[in-house]
Structure formats: C-alpha cells, structure tokens
Amino acid sequence: MGKQSWKPGNMLYPVPAVLVTVADKQGNPNIFTVAWTGTVCSDPPMVSISVRPSRYSHQMIEETGEFVINLTTRELAFATDYCGVKSGKDTDKIKDMHLNLVPADEVKAPLLKESPVNIECRVKQTLRLGTHDMYLADVVAVHADEGYMDEKGRFMLEKADLIAYSHGTYYTLGEKLGTFGYSVKKRTT
C-alpha cells in the first residue's frame, strides 16, 4: 500500500484538548477551548498555546499576559466542545456549562475547579504567526486535584480519564501500553 502526498497542513494528532481560563483587567473571566498547546521547556517550565486573534479571549491575554491551562476529562468533554464553539462575547459559557472557578495563586485568571490539573501561566513572548498568535509562557504554579492522590501521596493522573482531540473528534486516552523506558528495561524471568 502506498502513501498519498498532500499539501502542507496541520496533521499532528492527537493533541490535548484543554480549557483555558482568562480574565480581563477588571477581573471578568472567560473560558475557551484550545487544542494547539504543548510543553516547550522543562527547565524553566514553559508551555505554549496558539490563539486566533479573532477569539474573544485573545484580547484578555493581550491585556493581562496571563492564562491558566486546565486539563480536561471525559466528564468535561461536553463543556470542552461547547467552550470551543461558543464565544464569551455572546454568552456566559461558565454559567451555561455550570462550571466552577476558583482563585489562582499567582495569576488573576481563575482555575477551573473541575479540572484535575491547572497550570498557571504568564506570557513570556508572543509570536505572531499568521492565523494564530502563539503565547510562550512561563509556568508559575501548578495545582493537582487531591482526589487523584493514592494512599502514598502519588498523583494518579491516569485515573482522571483525560481526553484528546484528533482530526475533529474527541477521544479518551485508552489503555496503558508501558511506562517510560519499558522498551529497554531488563526483564526478570
């Protein structure tokens, strides 16, 4: 079987589907879905999100230089989709989806209480790239839901039933295949 050659495009899938919370200078919050996000650096910890300038939340990030990445779960899938297709300039998505926001430690943007992990971010650099602006951001705080801690205090993120987005469809992550380094680990007989 051969391969078809396509014009250049974004086919790096799956990607995380996250809910990003922001607030304007007056503290008015909004929430929107981002699928173009990722780790940039581990030391110092940095992430990125790419946002269309036409998005309602874009101006809030421009004003404050802050946002929070909230990981999403199967339970949040409907809200994740809704917050990606509805605009905060037309409706209160937080109220519509019965979401709960709590104050962050380091930034003015709130945390999504229902999320298993919240990553507080402060923009370090903005790259104007065409249809999207990429915000490279320092991670200034991370919050983990205690409900996912085992009896030894280990964070069990795999229990959260995280979701990903692939070519127009949301998926849960599925079964565990191995842990880092399992391909070279010595086997005991």
Measured between alpha carbons, how far is 112 from 129 in angstroms, rounded to an integer? Answer: 28
Residue 70: inside a domain: yes
Residue 157: inside a domain: yes
Please check whether residue 111 is in contact with residue 104, taking contact to mean a CB–CB distance below 8 angstroms: yes
Measured between alpha carbons, how far is 82 from 76 in angstroms, rounded to an integer? Answer: 10
pLDDT higher than threshold 70 for residue 189: no
Residue 179: inside a domain: no
Contacts of 93 (CB under 8 A, 6+ apart): 30, 31, 32, 79, 82, 83, 86, 99
pLDDT at 185: 83
Burial of 74 (0-12, 13-18, 19+ CB in 10 A): middle
Query: Would you call 19 helix, strand, or coil by DSSP?
Result: strand
Please check whether residue 33 is in contact with residue 81, taking contact to mean a CB–CB distance below 8 angstroms: yes
Residue 9: inside a domain: no
Q: How confident is the model over 15-57, as pLDDT tens digits?
A: 999 999 999 999 999 999 999 999 999 999 999 999 999 999 9
pLDDT at 151: 94
Please check whether residue 86 is in contact with residue 93, taking contact to mean a CB–CB distance below 8 angstroms: yes
Q: How many domains does the chain have?
A: 1
Residue 94: inside a domain: yes
Q: How confident is the model over 133-177, as pLDDT tens digits?
A: 999 999 999 999 999 999 999 999 999 999 999 999 999 988 888
What's the domain range around 95? Answer: 15-172
Backbone CA torsion sign across 60, 114, 171, 169: negative
CATH code, domain carrying 111? 2.30.110.10
Residue 148: inside a domain: yes
pLDDT at 1: 86
Q: How confident is the model over 82-112, as pLDDT tens digits?
A: 999 999 999 999 999 999 999 999 999 999 9
Residue 103: inside a domain: yes
pLDDT higher than threshold 80 for residue 181: yes
Residue 80: inside a domain: yes
pLDDT grade, residue 12 (50/70/90)? confident
Q: Tell me the pTM.
A: 0.94
